[in-house]
């Protein structure tokens, strides 16, 4: 059978969009809560200007690329990883900039689900006589902004849960000791997941047991990373006001179901913000907690908590991705189990996972898996 003929324009569209996606990834840690977006301006088969969205409040990817291209943008094709915006946000609409620059074609990877844009960007370009091609490398562009897409469509963030265990699935010895299970490469990797997250979530139990800082430290240039919101789920508002988290730079939010005004005042005096939410059957309503984070423009969440809280997130089908580090040790049957998932007895009740990525980091293994919510 002869293979189908190569569509050269289609092949070069994919090549340029791959470059635009590569540029978008430069904003991985800094563009939040905005999406990561990249743009390349191509004229006569040549890259005449490129850019990406660096920080919320600053110029969008298209404007940076158009500025780099200057006059060369006239008659060119713009490759953009997200539908160009049509609204006045913190910056003017990118569609106006593309039209004013005289580009003749715009190739877009993913539509922008932001209700302020949502198809109007593409419509405005077409009305201006610009040729528009959609959906080139769409899956990659959506994956890069899974959190932004989820927040815009469902009002809640994309949730990752990080777990670290021995090869036999234990997270602490019978004595309670748990430092350190994984090695330095795996622990640095956690800081990279934190750096891309708008919020890092833990529970009051972990604050009391480990007194973590939950900051982004172990990356190349930590000062350039906007500090993620550190969130403590604390239904009874019993978090100690002298917790290490409260002495580190960056905002801390405590989500609680308690009305205790005295504790609230003490935590606020220590620098935390406190928000009251409805209670669920076992403490805080986790879905309400995620919606509260969505209202605060949180795209991606990294949950770093103990087996009870992470188990509750998993059991409620609120986890989108598990990041599991496993160290080459056996900690024995008396150690603490990875997740508290009550009520699982029969094989039919197992929670299926789909493995997305398995690799070795230092001496440890990292597994990225997605619960199969069916
Ligand atoms: C684009 N190109 O590079 C980005 C876009 O407040 P603003 O002005 O920064 O607008 C933010 C919204 O613009 C954001 O919610 C999303 O819909 C879109 N982001 N659009 O054309 C970009 N970052
Ligand atoms: Zn824009």
309 annotated as ligand-binding? yes
What pLDDT, on the 0 to 100 scale, is given for residue 344? Answer: 93
pLDDT in tens, 65-109: 999 999 999 999 999 999 999 999 888 999 999 999 999 999 999
Find out whether 117 is annotated in a ligand binding site.
no
The reply to whether domains 11-148 and 156-371 share a CATH topology is no
Whether 68 and 38 have beta carbons less than 8 Å apart is answered as no
Q: Where are the alpha helices (DSSP H) in 76-119?
A: 94-101
Q: What is the model's pLDDT at position 128?
A: 97
pLDDT tens digits, residue range 269-312?
999 999 999 887 778 999 999 999 999 999 999 999 999 999 99
For a ligand 1 pocket test, name from 33, 35, 88, 118 the mutation site with the most ligand atoms within 8 angstroms of its C-beta.
35
What is the CA angle 24-30-33, rounded to 5?
95
Best residue among 20, 88, 112, 150 to mutate for probing ligand 1, ranked by most atoms within 8 Å of CB: 112
Ligand 1 nearest atom to the CA of residue 39, by list position: 3
Measured by CA distance, the residue closest to atom 20 of ligand 1 is 85
Structurally, what CATH architecture does the domain formed by 11-148 represent?
Answer: 3-Layer(aba) Sandwich (3.40)
Distance in Å, CA 22 to ligand 1 centroid: 18
Instruction: Name the residue among 306, 292, 310 with its Cα closest to residue 351.
Output: 310
Residue 96: the pLDDT is 97
164 is in an annotated binding site: yes
Per-state percent for the chain, helix, strand, coil, to nearest 5? 35, 25, 40
Max distance between CA atoms of the chain, in angstroms, equals 77
Q: Which atom of ligand 1 is nearest to the CA of 36?
A: 23
Q: Burial of 264 by CB count in 10 Å (0-12 exposed, 13-18 middle, 19+ buried)?
A: middle
More confident residue, 89 or 142: 142
Report the nearest-CA residue for atom 4 of ligand 1: 60
- The mean pLDDT value for 133-152 works out to 97
Radius of gyration of the chain from Cα atoms? 23
pLDDT at 180: 87
**Closest C-alpha to ligand 1, atom 10:** 89
What is the per-residue pLDDT across 173-211, written as a single tens digit (0 to 9) for each?
988 888 889 999 999 999 999 999 999 999 999 999 999
CA–CA distance, 71 with 41 (Å, rounded to integer): 11
pLDDT for position 177 = 86
Q: Which residues surround ligand 2, an ion (CB under 5 A)?
A: 60, 85, 94
Burial of 346 (0-12, 13-18, 19+ CB in 10 A): exposed
Q: List pocket residues of ligand 1, CB cut-off 6 Å.
A: 34-35, 37, 53, 56, 60-62, 82, 84-85, 89-91, 94, 112, 114, 117
Is there a contact between 255 and 234 (Cβ–Cβ < 8 Å)? yes
- Would you say 372 and 354 are in contact if contact means Cβ atoms under 8 Å apart? yes
Per-residue pLDDT of 19-63, as tens digits, reads: 999 999 999 999 999 999 999 999 999 999 999 999 999 999 999
> Does 287 participate in catalysis according to the annotation?
no
* Cα–Cα distance, 272 to 52 (Å, whole number): 33
The active-site residue out of 50, 62, 300, 321 is: 62
pLDDT at 6: 67
Is 312 assigned to a binding site?
Answer: yes
Q: Hey, whose CA ends up nearest to atom 17 of ligand 1?
A: 114
Ligand number with the minimum distance to the CA of 36: 1
- Tell me the pLDDT of the chain averaged across its residues: 95
Task: State the distance from the centre of ligand 1 to the C-alpha of 239, rounded, in angstroms.
Answer: 37
> Which sequence spans correspond to the domains of the chain?
11-148, 156-371
Which of 284, 254, 250 is CA-nearest to residue 268? 254
Examine the pLDDT at 130 and tell me if it is beyond 80.
yes
| Residue of the CA atom closest to atom 18 of ligand 1 | 85
- Ligand 2 mean position, distance from CA 82 (Å): 9
Task: Kindly indicate whether the domain formed by 156-371 is annotated with CATH number 1.10.1740.110.
Answer: no
């Amino acid at each position: 059978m002869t293979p189908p003929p190569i569509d050269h324009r289609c092949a070069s569209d994919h090549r340029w969009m791959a470059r635009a996606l590569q540029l978008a990834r430069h904003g991985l840690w800094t563009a939040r809560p905005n999406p990561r977006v990249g743009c390349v301006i191509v004229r006569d088969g040549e890259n005449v200007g490129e850019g990406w969205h660096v920080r919320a409040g600053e110029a969008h990817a298209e404007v940076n690329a158009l500025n780099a291209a200057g006059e060369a943008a006239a008659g060119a094709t713009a490759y953009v990883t997200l539908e160009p915006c049509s609204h006045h946000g913190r910056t003017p609409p990118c569609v106006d900039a593309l039209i004013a620059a005289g580009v003749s074609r715009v190739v877009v990877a993913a539509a922008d689900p932001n209700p302020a844009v949502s198809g109007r960007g593409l419509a405005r370009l077409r009305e201006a006589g610009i040729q528009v091609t959609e959906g080139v490398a769409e899956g990659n562009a959506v994956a890069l902004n899974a959190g932004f897409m989820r927040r815009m469509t469902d009002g809640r963030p994309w949730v990752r849960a990080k777990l670290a265990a021995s090869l036999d699935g234990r997270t602490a010895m019978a004595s309670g000791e748990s430092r350190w299970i994984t090695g330095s490469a795996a622990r640095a990797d956690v800081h990279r997941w934190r750096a891309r997250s708008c919020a890092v979530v833990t529970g009051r139990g972990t604050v009391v047991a480990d007194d973590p800082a939950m900051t982004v430290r172990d990356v190349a240039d930590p000062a350039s990373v906007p500090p993620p919101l550190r969130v403590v789920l604390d239904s009874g508002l019993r978090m100690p006001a002298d917790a290490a988290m409260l002495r580190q730079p960056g905002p801390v939010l405590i989500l609680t179901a308690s009305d205790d005004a005295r504790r609230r005042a003490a935590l606020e005096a220590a620098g935390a913000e406190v928000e009251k939410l409805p209670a669920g059957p076992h403490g805080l309503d986790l879905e309400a907690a995620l919606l509260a984070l969505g209202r605060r423009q949180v795209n991606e969440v990294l949950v770093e908590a103990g087996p009870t809280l992470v188990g509750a997130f998993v059991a409620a089908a609120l986890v989108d991705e598990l990041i599991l580090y496993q160290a080459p040790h056996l900690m024995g049957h008396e150690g603490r189990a990875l997740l508290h998932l009550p009520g699982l007895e029969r094989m039919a009740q197992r929670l299926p996972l789909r493995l997305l990525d398995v690799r070795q980091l230092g001496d440890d293994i990292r597994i990225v898996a997605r619960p199969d919510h069916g």
